[in-house]
Amino acid sequence: MRGTGETQMFALVNTPNGKAPVELRQVPEPASGLHEALVAVQAFSLNRGELRSFRNNEEGWIPGQDISGIVLRQAADGSGPPAGTRIVALMDEFGWAERAAVPTQRIAVLPDPVSFAAAAALPVAGLTALRTLRHGAPLLGKRVLITGAAGGVGHLAVQLAARSGARVTPLPHSWNARRACGNWVRPTWWSASSKRKGGSG
């Protein structure tokens, strides 16, 4: 992360030799590149891959891929949303901080009804679900079985497949986990033990 060396901010940094995996520290605010907007981070989410990365990165590294927030300064090249815009974004790292320099091609404008917390859980899981479903596209009228349907990627895949016109059968880890899938599917449920639950084919 390129720091300005002047303005300081708080961030959660990697502490491989510390008492905990991360520690809240003051670090330099990032310097935005030509195609990057400076964003005030309002929420971020945690991905499993980031936890594994703690072992492979040095002291002081800042993790963080999924963020949401408000643009403080538009990119110098004029690309991306202007200052004051609510956004959600996908980064490679450095998102677990008060502010982040985000490439504008990785930013999406966040509709007002969507909370920062909800949006921050979308980028990695949502794109994984979308790209997976595209392997079977077009989905209109197809029967689609989605395993892990109550997980981060799975419950988004259920919604995306249903919106695409597929007949979705979710396979959650357990019968109780079916509630995480919401009302997006036809009334046919399977548990991880392959025991039929409710509805007819």
* Tokens at 42, concatenated: 């309002």
Residue carrying structure tokens 């039929």: 196
- Percent of the chain residues topping a pLDDT of 70: 84
Angle between helix axes 152-163 and 123-134 (nearest 10 degrees) is 50
Most confident of 4-13, 22-31, 179-188: 22-31
pLDDT at 114: 96
Contacts of 66 (CB under 8 A, 6+ apart): 44, 45, 47, 90, 91, 95, 120, 121, 122, 123, 124
* Tokens at 118, concatenated: 């909800």
The class that CATH gives domain 124-197 is alpha beta
pLDDT reading at 184 higher than 70: no
The residue extents of the domains of the chain are 3-121, 124-197
Which tens digits make up the pLDDT trace of 55-84? Answer: 788 899 999 999 999 999 999 999 999 999
Taking residues 119-123, report their average pLDDT.
Answer: 95
184 or 155, greater pLDDT: 155
Beta bridge partners, 103, equal: 36
pLDDT reading at 30 higher than 70: yes
pLDDT at 51: 79
Domain 3-121 = CATH 4.10.640.10: no
Contacts of 188 (CB under 8 A, 6+ apart): 169, 198, 199, 200, 201
HSE-up of 169 (CA within 13 Å, CB side)? 16
